[in-house]
Chain A
Amino acid sequence: MGKSAKLWLLWAVSALVFGGVIAAGMVYGGPGRPHLLIGKTTSGHHQIELSCETCHTEAFGGKEILQNACVGCHAAELKAANDSHPIKKFRDPRNASRLEKLDATQCVACHTEHKPEVTHAMGVTLPNDYCALCHQDVGENRPSHKNLSFETCASAGCHNFHDNRALYEDFLEKHAEAPDHKLKAYLELVANPPEKEPSEAEPITVADKADAPSDKRGEHSVTSEWLASGHAKGGVNCSGCHAPEQETPEAIQAAWVDKPDHKVCATCHSQEVKTFTEGKHGMRLAEGVKSQVAGFFGVFKDKPLSPMKPSLARLEMSPKVAEHEIGCATCHGAHDANTQPAKVESCQSCHTDEHSKAYTGSPHHKLFEAEQSGKGEKGTGVSCATCHLPRFLHLDEETYDETLVVNHNQNFNLRPNEKMIRSVCMDCHGLGFSINALADPEAIKSNFSKRPSVHIESIDWVTKRLKAREAAKKRRDQQ
């Protein structure tokens, strides 16, 4: 073989190997994947950006592949948000001319991933005046809107494309007169939670009843913490978490897991774990999210993503805990199952951004301390969790039973932040004050230590319009 032929062969083999490595990275994953990302992902997806299959569920296919992936994760929250622009509205052919301008039946028409250079708030990748495509004539029916820039529709605290539950006109009208601070200011679901069905299990009150194998007992403090916890009071023994569904000592010993994961917690706290895996803290642990998928004659095995850790975050985090992986026990403690640290302490152990640091000493913090010390009434304290892990009543759509749940998707109230108005703010504050506060970046930075310095005019406009209408009606009646 001549030198030239050898070089050609070497080139061909190198090209095959190089191409194979790239193809394997794309299809199966592995350490080469980070280099294959075609652009920085949005803050909503960056935690799972190396699990390409989560969105690109098939290597080949049309736009329905991505659409199904979007809907698979986001459909339920859009439904719950009473989406103002649901896809089903655009399926009517009378919208064909509008769809030519903007295909609102496809999520990617507005939210294209891997395009950091054109990505705005809420992951929108269209120019911010997109409302003009369909609502150019809004000034005809709303004189207050004449000459307003279409860039301000969804960016000035007035409207959202999807969730307008706290912003629709009748709601603004109904709450127009509410004071900044309500006389009775407390969180309703904290102060007056619905009654729980009593546990049928016998409470466990003595250490002798612990069913952990002798070599797994651990420190005395572990048993004490567990005995004082809600788990022991609810009759949940060691095996309940470490060897679920096992009854005999032999079976417990055989099935014992030292560090049970979130899936074990989900057997009793399904909604909490479900929402945890929907948010930034637990998204990497969601079902089907993988760093590597099995294939190529067994060379590649299924591998889940590692749990989230502060070093992977884009927000400012404490370097001391950079590599701490986040699971249920990170905030709640493994054996005391104490929810107290998860209200403020756990949050501040990682989050060091301006808003998080400003919480200490803020009016909300003072109320929280007062409640903790017994000086404030139940439900009057406001912790990090109050706003970011809000309580809600989960409705079973078949039985109509409601269960009190703590939403562990920390992003639930932040997409956009007006979502917080009804679920949290309005328990204590008036609507106008809440809208202003959430539209003011400086007030947010100071963790609401400062009064809002912006004023959103939507309530004023509604009031003015209603007064004008009443006057017109009077004139008509007199005629």
Chain B
Amino acid sequence: MMKMKSKWVTAGTVFSTVALFGAAAATGKGVAYKDVTDMLHAVMDSDRTVYTRKVVQRLVKKDKVIKASEYHDDDKALPLPAQMFRFGSEMVAERTDKFTYSLLSLWPINKQNTPRTEVEIEGLKYVAENKGKNFYGEETLGGKDYFTAVYADVAVAKVCVSCHNEHKDTPKTDFKLKDVMGGVVIRIPKT
């Protein structure tokens, strides 16, 4: 781990819809920013992996009963795992301003998901070059201070690799299983 500048988040500021928060906040001592983002990421990463393996990989690759498509409504198909993740992120953005998260990459299919802030760029490079490690930093955006954590997003199933390598907009065509394909960026505004 690097750049750890943990501060304490008071229990009152923790977004409490995730059950893990409830347990942590109950200690009355507050939870470190890093622990909060780690917990959030554990939930996000697990859900994302389950959707990719148990839904997309199984139904698209193994059982071949349905396709997964970026234009899932038009194609009557499953949303892509990255979309599933982004839909959740956008819904969270509508429900709370206590934290935000996004899925970015140094090799994005959608160029809007290119890292833009210095911490994003540094963090994505770090998690790509240091497998199994996370990146934590702080940044000021729009006049507000944020604790920002970056977690590697790894190709957990064959469909991740095949879809990204073959997509017409991909800038990289040689991903392999278990490769770091990008990163999850979680931000908490500091109080």
Contact = CB atoms under 8 A, between A and B. Distances in A.
B102 A97 contact: no
A91 interface: yes
A142 to B, nearest CB: 10
B142 A100 contact: yes
B49 interface: no
Interface string A64-107: 00000000000000000010001011011110110110000000
Nearest to A476: B173
B168 A469 contact: yes
A292 to B, nearest CB: 36
Nearest to A100: B142
Q: In this complex, which of A94, A168, A469 has the most chain B Cβ atoms within 10 angstroms of its Cβ?
A: A94
B74 A89 contact: no
A170 B67 CA distance: 15
A466 interface: yes
A171 interface: yes
Nearest to A174: B74
Given A86-B90, A141-B111, A476-B173, A91 B97 contact: yes
Nearest to B119: A94
A97 B93 CA distance: 18
Interface string A454-472: 0000000000011001000
Nearest to A86: B90
Contact of B100 (A91, A171, A476): A91
B116 interface: yes
Contacts of B185: 94
Contact of A99 (B111, B116, B142, B173): B142
Interface residues of B, number: 27
Interface in B79-109: 89-91, 93-94, 97, 100, 102
B90 A94 contact: no
A100 B143 CA distance: 11
A93 B189 CA distance: 9
A466 B90 contact: no
Chain A binding site: helix, strand, loop or mixed by DSSP?
helix
Contacts, number: 52
B74 A94 contact: no
B144 to A, nearest CB: 7
Contacts of B111: 137, 141
A88 B91 CA distance: 8
Contact of B73 (A82, A88, A91): A82
B35 interface: no
Given A93-B100, A94-B117, A141-B111, A88 B93 contact: yes
Nearest to B185: A94
A171 B93 CA distance: 29
Nearest to A98: B116
Interface residues of A, number: 21
Q: In this complex, which of B90, B91, B146, B168 has the most chain A Cβ atoms within 10 angstroms of its Cβ?
A: B168
A271 to B, nearest CB: 21
B187 interface: yes
B129 interface: no
B120 interface: yes
Interface in B112-127: 116-117, 120
B160 to A, nearest CB: 19
A93 B73 contact: no
Interface in B144-191: 144, 146, 168-169, 173, 185, 187, 189
Contacts of B169: 141
Interface in B51-88: 70-71, 73-74
Nearest to A93: B141
A188 to B, nearest CB: 16
B79 to A, nearest CB: 13
Contact of A92 (B70, B74, B100, B144): B100
Nearest to B96: A91
A450 to B, nearest CB: 31
A171 B102 contact: no
Q: In this complex, which of A89, A100, A469 has the most chain B Cβ atoms within 10 angstroms of its Cβ?
A: A89
A461 to B, nearest CB: 13
A88 B71 contact: no
B71 A93 contact: no
A465 B142 CA distance: 38
B141 A94 contact: yes
Contacts of B100: 91-93
Interface string A416-460: 000000000000000000000000000000000000000000000
29 contacts: A86-B90, A88-B91, A88-B93, A89-B90, A91-B93, A91-B94, A91-B97, A91-B100, A92-B89, A92-B93, A92-B102, A93-B142, A93-B146, A94-B102, A94-B116, A94-B117, A94-B187, A96-B142, A97-B116, A97-B141, A97-B142, A99-B142, A100-B142, A137-B111, A168-B71, A171-B71, A465-B168, A469-B168, A476-B173
Given A93-B100, A94-B187, A97-B116, 15 more contacts: A88-B94, A89-B93, A91-B94, A91-B97, A92-B100, A93-B142, A93-B144, A94-B102, A96-B141, A96-B142, A96-B144, A99-B142, A137-B111, A170-B71, A466-B168
Interface of A: 82, 86, 88-89, 91-94, 96-97, 99-100, 137, 141, 168, 170-171, 465-466, 469, 476
Leading 7 A-B pairs by shortest Cβ distance = A96-B142, A91-B93, A96-B141, A93-B141, A88-B90, A88-B93, A92-B100
